């Protein structure tokens, strides 16, 4: 039977709601995050000194669902904007349906614009490893599994690449986690995600996934980094 335009619109709206409800946490998936992922971990700041270029800079990180990482860095002083997107694959296949199905080599990521006079790249690395995710989880975070949820850093320049490599080495040597860090340093790439993913935590503060997995990360930022929290 032919569907009316109104029924088609209702069906599309229902599908959009379903996608939003399951985007980063498929219904029925089992929680597999560690204590570090849920509670944050107090670790030493990077010790390697860096000199960054002047003016607003860009950092790109991946560590599970981009909603929570975006929400954390939006609360950091000196960060001027945060955008959810995809890194590690091609522009042509940077599409949520493809990425979430594991059909591309992308990772869900965030692009952070920041003022290094207020918050340095080393500060961002410190926060990234402390409160946004568990860097020892291979291709999984919280309830989400697949290489699209891997932990990775996409340096925008040689200074960032050197800083990220040095900090991973420092953290592995310190032994804060029982397992080794699996965070990879990959070639810089970023393609913005669909509009409905942007500022998702701000727009949907009571979404079950946000309440369960992401609000605790923001709380950990406030607890562990009070001087950086806004």
- What are the residue numbers of the active site? 65
Burial class (CB in 10 A: 0-12, 13-18, 19+), 54: exposed
Nearest CA to 188 out of 164, 156, 165, 161 is that of: 156
Chain center to CA of 108:
7
- From the list 15, 38, 44, 25, the residue with the least C-alpha distance to 137 is 38
8 Å CB contact between 63 and 168: no
| Interior/surface letters 85-99, b for 16+ CB within 10 angstroms, e for the rest | bbbbbeeeebbbebb
Phi, psi angle pair for 81, to nearest 5°? -165, 155
């Amino acid at each position: 039977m032919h569907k009316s335009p109104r029924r088609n619109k209702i069906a599309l709206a229902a599908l959009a709601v379903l996608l939003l409800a399951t985007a980063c946490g498929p219904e029925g998936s089992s929680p597999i995050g560690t204590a570090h992922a849920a509670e944050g971990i107090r670790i030493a700041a990077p010790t390697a000194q860096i000199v960054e270029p002047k003016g607003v800079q860009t950092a790109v990180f991946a560590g599970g669902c981009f909603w929570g990482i975006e929400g954390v860095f939006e609360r950091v002083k000196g960060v001027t904007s945060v955008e959810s997107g995809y890194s590690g694959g091609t522009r042509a296949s940077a599409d949520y349906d493809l990425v979430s199905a594991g059909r591309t080599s992308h990772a869900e990521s965030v692009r952070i614009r920041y003022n290094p006079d207020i918050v340095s790249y080393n500060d961002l690395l410190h926060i990234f490893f402390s409160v946004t995710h568990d860097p020892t989880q291979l291709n999984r975070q919280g309830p989400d599994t697949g290489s699209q949820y891997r932990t990775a850093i996409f340096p925008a320049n040689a200074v960032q690449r050197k800083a990220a490599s040095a900090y991973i080495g420092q953290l592995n040597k310190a032994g804060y986690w029982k397992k080794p860090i699996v965070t990879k340093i990959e070639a810089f790439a970023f393609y913005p995600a669909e509009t409905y993913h942007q500022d998702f935590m701000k727009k949907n503060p009571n979404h079950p996934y946000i309440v369960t997995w992401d609000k605790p990360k923001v709380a950990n930022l406030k607890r562990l980094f009070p001087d950086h929290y806004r």
